[in-house]
Structure 1
């Protein structure tokens, strides 16, 4: 299909940025292929979610494609039913074909899904190119490929990427058939629509694409989502144009296509709703429904659940999309004639399609457990059109620039405070976010959010694309701006604003001088102030004016630097959004989500075992299902255990080296058994994943990576604030220490800074009872109260063995009202209203008196 030219307001056609538009198709599709295909085998299979889907696909391959070699001993190998699949069969048939052709592996099951995703990008790109222009096609395709919900479903064997791609194909086919015509050049770069056989050839090609999408949608998610949504999107768009008097110039055949799409959508909607309310959750799943029903209705409001899902699953695009949707309600006045008629139809179809998809999912929300949104391509098309419209001369928007930055920050904070929100791209039941990944998660998400929001904001803040001038003229202009602003500020409130600023600065200088002299001369009133207040007061007098002076020049330099870059490259300002998508997409697609997936899969552990083991050394599994072995381990038999005691007995019997792959929640019990058996921590040789670990009966010269090694020691550190105390006859107190954020031992603390209080104990006999720990820092009529789970709940007290040296590390931060001085540390254990009884050492009401903590 030939890409459309874009029309200028005077009716002529032109490409403002040929270097950008000319490469639309190869760049967009190459980037999509890179995102969708390059990391298919990097992360392993997510147990149980992917593993269940992969196993069902393996069974389909055995029976549908006669892949008898995929049958596994001691496993279910029969053909699954639709009720087993919990959706239509097409996603599983696609994965089954991959297994048949390339064998049983993670990448072979994901490859067909990535191909489906790529087809969805192609369909969206071609639709936007034909009905709007190549720049809109480029922006929309990149937006789709960099949306986490889309590219992660393409890389994960969960199946709903087929639904997303099918909707993109069906929507593109039906809308393209409605609004696209064959076109030919008239000379001078202009084009005009032509009727006849060529136009019907174009429409026929679109109808084939639409039919493929409808069939694929029906075979993946049934009538409601797979058929009703795309058909109603096209049909209702046609109806809106007719009722709005915007159908001028359209043929009878096009009106017939619109009416037929509307009729098809209404029939599919009626039959789907009838099945939805007429099917029992216990009944076999009908193919026409293809959505597994839940026995217990969701307590979430239907609209709230879908919006929350989209806000997190589309991040960071979800910060831009609300404003992009609003921009699409603006008529494309920069276009004229056929170009405007095509794009109006496309805009209406995208807006109506997104609304219909939202309504369908809101309808289903109370009746299903988890269902990923399938209309991602529609929202990507909205984003692409909004940016392309900006390039064509639509006005900039400072409200949009600031709104995107604010909404990106809100979503970022929401996802950092609750990292499980990142699993919205999968929509699976009760996922557990790995604790060890939280710090890395914050860093990567902060980077992607800042890159996206910053570039989008600066791109939309204004419309200028100046070529850079001489640096000296830029400096002169900047100086003139400062002088002008200074004069204007001096006139505000008859000069009272400047007078007030001078008074504030004089006060800050006086405060700094007082604190400087007070600390040097030892004034008691100054020394009692918190150290962080003193540090701030000594620096505010120069820091505040410097920030006020440099902030404008920094923003101006950023603005003018962006203008200069656009002027030199002759790119439109919309290229800033393209760069934002590429930057944020690269961080999330190649950094964040692969790292998260590595935490959830046993692949790295199996790779470590293959690298470290010697021939003949047996392997066992504890808490990891044996079905995963077929995808990673091609060796001999593997022992399967459900009880840690049985697994430990097998691991330590005999003199030969043995290996065990365990889930992290089984490690405490195994470690306790090993300390009882050998007096040392269990040998862990691979702990890169916080969920699944590789354990061996012999370190073999490698470093022990046991994550419990920082909590259970063989010897206490030599230097402690020693305390001789005991809790009954079970636990002896050795002492305590304080470390700062860098891990250095400190002898004093400053309020409003985080420190680690580390208490050291020696176990005398097995601990009875279920205790929590407390920390009291008392003095000067103030108390810091730090109740917390012992060892952060990672190693229960009933697992502690005699002679274990245990470290309880608690992070604390004193409030700013803790003035300098020596405070008393009290600590101990409690359960309800009862405290663990102290039988030896300094104590008060069964609180061990630890000594003094100096606050500066």
Structure 2
């Protein structure tokens, strides 16, 4: 770690030499091109000369204390406090915690009024909570002050998050500079893990804020106390120490000794050891220890004791025993399958996206010496605050990761409590670039590649986005997958694009003054690039490209002539492959020529914006985080929460119901209604009972029954809808009315539509009206299921008569049920011809509406995605389909068939 100090402004080391190869700057000894602006020093432009050094020894960067602190408060408040009531309570995860906090509010704070006065169970134990009580006590206080509302439970947690962000700002602003503090807040409040924990009643934002306070307090007291020897300067270290003690206490009351105490205390203690043994500690020749020595030594002893005690309790505890306060995490009976390393690292990769793509490179760059600041030599030698902060961040973040990796086999994936440490590391890397550290093309390209890998992971497995919550077996709503992909795509482009532009090169000191000058330089660069291409490998690379182009021309000519004269081999090629071959000779060279020009234009546009805005180029990275982070915080996660929470369906019930129309729930606990309806409602776990209540006769004695003919409403979990719909069709010969089907998880049903459209997804696959398929068939499976026909549709839902390989279509097959179907059948689709076969085995209706629920008279549509392989040449192929279970096929008793496969007709491939 001693390398951290070599470039310190107070160490006497010379500043790093500028990179003569930095892109955008003229080579050494050359004048700027004609017509360009004179050189500009970004650092002096930012501060108007040498940056000031405030009394703590940190470089000011030209920002006054008041506006910078106000900007940090505003940024954190905007990111954390809005939308607390936008999304409803997530059942069961938030609802369970809210109920536990409600019990605490009643028994500890004596909360009364409204639903809080309802009978409650006894005061919950730590075993009931599964962690320390501080987060639940905070929620309970919100319920006590504001009543039983979702926002009332979330507000105290959001304030904890706000406090953590502001403490981080104060540490970086005082020991580094105010810009670093503001950047740290910007990164922290755009990390999904931190923001979503602050907006939900899961409780771990308290642990995150506590660790931030403990780290900042102990590190601040250690460094400030280590460099101040006179009595009049004890106020700042004492204030930091008070913050650190408060953080340690809060950490212990939220996640026990290992996470809440040992990590920050050991971090401060080991930082003190590193500083002491590296020669960076002042006054080593004197016998009297400083206040920093006392803080560092006490922190080290406390950390070692807390770690030892925590490990002993962990070794002696079991999942069946009551949860010890010292441990603070609930143990699992069965350890997770993933290894320790994979479990924690995977959670960080997805929960911190997109910053997780930047952090590995930022962590590497924090080991570089900080860029020397002008004017710092005027300050008397003392312990350098920034170097101490860097060491503390590296040590404490490593300890935090180690603690969570240690607990992962016993407790699973816990929400990582140190996002503020990573935010500070990212902020220092950004600030270093702003102060003159070299840019990095490796960082620009590597961050983009890693961001793309994480993006693909989140698109292909959308449930990984739920890692920000670290709850057990969450289900990602299928209806949100398309919108989720669009949001993640925007985040990827915005973040990776801006970060790559920021770090790819140094900001040029001279720019083109006119478009004509830019065009001349672009033409010169293209000519120079072409000349360089001709010199590579002694001209062999250019020769190889010419040969390749000649081959493409030959292939294109062959395909063009072959299709005109009806050459069999060419005629049998799929149309899209033939089109690619005929156009590759001009499209590929055009793409290779246009792509560099487009990239250069984007790069130069970014240069121009930076210059005209008179802003540091490094600001592009926090700006990228703000754009991407706010897209996630204000678009992606609120829309996801709307799918997971019943709040929207309760609001729909309030707007659609008439006075006296009762409400019940099926699969959704009635306690959720207390946060939106002001009291509990009837609740059912059995579908048959819920159906009987929903369709009860006028003289029913069911609770809440209203006047004869009254309408009834039912909040339904999506898993229960198929069985409920089957019962409704059996008695009423139509689909269950669904008045709010926006979420794929929770729906609002009724016994009457009331003139509104049915929003049930079953309306698309279980039809109430007769159909006329494009390709009718008269066939029968035994005496149970009649085949009506089939048709093909494209992505727009339009019927098509032919298909193209590698393009997606929908094969819609229509059936009419004659008798209840026995057996658990799956469906197969065969497309045969030219010694090729497409095999489309799949669950009927994707398994969402089993055959056992089909009622006599139902018309069913199986909608299967069809995509042929590229080796399907043009021609007519035979379509077969049927049902199978293991090695047995559903017997065809009527219609054209082959080996119990319905002959569907012909599919033409173009």
Instruction: Give the TM-score range, shorter chain.
Output: over 0.9
Q: Does 1:730 align with 2:784?
A: yes
Change (3 A) 1:527 1:50: same
Counterpart pick for 1:440 among 477, 480, 483: 483
Q: Which runs of 5+ in 1 are unaligned?
A: 1-5, 183-192
1:143-222 aligned at under 5 Å gives the runs 143-180=187-224, 195-222=229-256
Change (3 A) 1:429 1:148: same
Partners of 1:301 and 1:538 lie apart in 2 by 51
Counterpart pick for 1:135 among 176, 179, 183: 179
CA contact (8 A) 1:62 1:70 kept: no
Q: Does 1:258 align with 2:296?
A: yes
Q: Does 1:397 align with 2:440?
A: yes
Counterpart pick for 1:423 among 452, 456, 466: 466
Q: Which residue of 2 aligns with 1:581?
A: 625
| CA shift digits 1:461-501 (9 cap, x unpaired) | 11124464221111100111111112222233443333332
Match of 2:811, SS state, is strand
CA contact (8 A) 2:773 2:788 kept: no
Q: Does 1:43 align with 2:87?
A: yes
| CA shift digits 1:101-121 (9 cap, x unpaired) | 111010000000000000000
Q: Does 1:247 align with 2:281?
A: yes
Match of 2:526, SS state, is helix
Instruction: Tell me how far 1:528 sits from its aligned partner.
Output: 1.0
Q: Which runs of 5+ in 2 are unaligned?
A: 1-7, 16-48, 53-58, 699-708
Change (3 A) 1:339 1:834: farther
Change (3 A) 1:465 1:542: same
Counterpart pick for 1:13 among 41, 48, 51: 51
Instruction: Tell me how far 1:73 sits from its aligned partner.
Output: 8.1
| CA shift digits 1:565-617 (9 cap, x unpaired) | 11112211211101110111111000111111111100000000000001100
Which moved further from structure 2: 325-334 or 278-287? 278-287
CA contact (8 A) 1:124 1:377 kept: yes
Which moved further from structure 2: 513-522 or 704-713? 513-522
Counterpart pick for 1:565 among 605, 609, 631: 609
Q: Which residue of 2 aligns with 1:232?
A: 266
Match of 2:172, SS state, is helix
Instruction: Tell me how far 1:850 sits from its aligned partner.
Output: 0.4
Q: Which residue of 1 aligns with 2:34?
A: none
Instruction: Tell me how far 1:24 sits from its aligned partner.
Output: 3.4
1:655-674 aligned at under 5 Å gives the runs 655-674=709-728
| CA shift digits 1:728-756 (9 cap, x unpaired) | 00000011111111111111111111111
Instruction: Tell me how far 1:302 sits from its aligned partner.
Output: 1.8
CA contact (8 A) 1:7 1:339 kept: no
Partners of 2:129 and 2:768 lie apart in 1 by 51
1:427-506 aligned at under 5 Å gives the runs 427-466=470-509, 468=511, 469-506=513-550
Q: Which residue of 2 aligns with 1:791?
A: 845
Q: Which residue of 1 aligns with 2:348?
A: 310
Instruction: Tell me how far 1:521 sits from its aligned partner.
Output: 4.8
Match of 2:274, SS state, is helix
Counterpart pick for 2:364 among 319, 322, 326: 326
1:538-549 aligned at under 5 Å gives the runs 538-549=582-593
Counterpart pick for 2:893 among 839, 846, 849: 839
Partners of 2:336 and 2:897 lie apart in 1 by 52
Partners of 1:361 and 1:13 lie apart in 2 by 40
1:404-803 aligned at under 5 Å gives the runs 404-466=447-509, 468=511, 469-634=513-678, 638-653=681-696, 654=698, 655-803=709-857
Partners of 1:818 and 1:328 lie apart in 2 by 55
Instruction: Tell me how far 1:400 sits from its aligned partner.
Output: 0.8
Partners of 1:790 and 1:831 lie apart in 2 by 12
Match of 2:384, SS state, is helix
Instruction: Tell me how far 1:77 sits from its aligned partner.
Output: 3.0
| CA shift digits 1:3-29 (9 cap, x unpaired) | xxx979789535897479985332232
CA contact (8 A) 2:310 2:327 kept: yes
Match of 1:320, SS state, is helix
Match of 1:222, SS state, is helix
Match of 1:574, SS state, is helix
| CA shift digits 1:191-226 (9 cap, x unpaired) | xx8653442111111111111111111111111111
Q: Does 1:385 align with 2:428?
A: yes
Q: Which residue of 2 aligns with 1:186?
A: none
Which moved further from structure 2: 302-311 or 421-430? 302-311
Partners of 1:621 and 1:827 lie apart in 2 by 40
Instruction: Tell me how far 1:780 sits from its aligned partner.
Output: 0.5
Partners of 2:232 and 2:168 lie apart in 1 by 22
Partners of 1:676 and 1:264 lie apart in 2 by 69
Instruction: Tell me how far 1:75 sits from its aligned partner.
Output: 5.6
Partners of 1:328 and 1:74 lie apart in 2 by 55
CA contact (8 A) 2:63 2:179 kept: no
Counterpart pick for 1:819 among 873, 876, 881: 873
Partners of 2:404 and 2:84 lie apart in 1 by 29
Instruction: Tell me how far 1:248 sits from its aligned partner.
Output: 2.9
Partners of 2:727 and 2:319 lie apart in 1 by 45
Change (3 A) 1:493 1:345: closer
Partners of 2:423 and 2:243 lie apart in 1 by 19
CA contact (8 A) 1:17 1:571 kept: no
Partners of 1:162 and 1:767 lie apart in 2 by 54
CA contact (8 A) 1:658 1:697 kept: yes
Change (3 A) 1:70 1:259: farther
CA contact (8 A) 2:229 2:290 kept: no
CA contact (8 A) 1:748 1:854 kept: yes
Change (3 A) 1:759 1:395: same
Partners of 2:118 and 2:889 lie apart in 1 by 52
| TM-score, normalised via structure 1 length | 0.95
Q: Which residue of 2 aligns with 1:121?
A: 165
Instruction: Tell me how far 1:43 sits from its aligned partner.
Output: 0.3
Q: Which residue of 2 aligns with 1:189?
A: none
CA contact (8 A) 1:132 1:339 kept: no
Which moved further from structure 2: 474-483 or 410-419? 410-419
Partners of 1:298 and 1:494 lie apart in 2 by 57
| TM-score, normalised via structure 2 length | 0.89
CA contact (8 A) 1:24 1:134 kept: yes
CA contact (8 A) 1:423 1:431 kept: yes
Change (3 A) 1:465 1:31: farther
Partners of 2:666 and 2:544 lie apart in 1 by 70
Partners of 1:441 and 1:20 lie apart in 2 by 41
Instruction: Tell me how far 1:257 sits from its aligned partner.
Output: 1.3
CA contact (8 A) 2:106 2:117 kept: no
Partners of 2:871 and 2:800 lie apart in 1 by 21
